[in-house]
Amino acid sequence: MRKLLSFLLKWSGILCVPGGVLWALSPTGVYISNLAFHTPNVFWKMFWPAPLLILLGLIGLQLRQWGRSGLLEKLGFFMAILGLVMVIAGDVGLYWLGIDDIFIVTAPAYNAFRLGLLTLAVGSILFAVTSPREGALPTWGLLPFVVGSLCGLISFSRDLGTFGAVLWILFGVGWAWLGLSLVIAGFSSFLRTRRTTSGGIAAKQ
């Protein structure tokens, strides 16, 4: 049971792939919701799984290199986690619980959602930039992720219309790419280990 739990935690970073894909599809979901139901609220009710999957994936990514991570990377990790929790809480509070219908002036759910997006973007950038170069995450996976996080920060800062939607998509693609890079790096490592083992057995024979 412990080995299974360790395996799941080690590879839970893969969840960044579906989480990032769902995030990137958000503008399409809003468009379909507007077209079919004449309101984007139907889609936003279904948005929370995207940040939840990213949150679980990020925890898995950090656990893989916790011992080698520095203070700034851990700070970025906790900022990103806080941002994701705020985004989920804001989405649920706004579209499921209707909190802002009660507190119209302060709009706590909406403000939590918006602030969570900014916190997530800043934390993502800090996490990626300060990740150990020889850590569990490949550098070629981190670089596009930094670009995607910067795009997200710009998109979350203000309403930029269609251009902002493109930047929002790139933020999701960055997370999906980060999770995919983990899969590719792990598969490549497995193939190298298997090739080395096979070569050693052949040499002994």
DSSP string of 151-165, one letter each residue: HHHHHHHS--HHHHH
Instruction: Find out whether 85 and 54 touch, Cβ atoms under 8 Å.
Output: no
The average pLDDT across 138-155 equals 93
Domain chopping of the chain, boundaries: 12-186
DSSP tag of 107: -
Residue 174, amino acid? G
Three-class secondary structure of residue 105 per DSSP: coil
Say whether pLDDT at 199 is over 60.
no
DSSP tag of 103: S
Say whether pLDDT at 188 is over 90.
no
CA distances for 43 relative to 32, 102, 112, 132, 168, angstroms: 8, 22, 19, 37, 16
- Pair of tokens at residue 136: 């569990």
pLDDT given for residue 2 in this prediction = 64
Decide: residue 129, CB within 10 A, 0-12 exposed, 13-18 middle, 19+ buried. middle
Say whether pLDDT at 190 is over 60.
no
The average pLDDT across 57-71 equals 86
Instruction: Name the band, by pLDDT with cuts 50, 70 and 90, for residue 151.
Output: very high
Instruction: Find out whether 125 and 90 touch, Cβ atoms under 8 Å.
Output: no
The average pLDDT across 150-158 equals 96
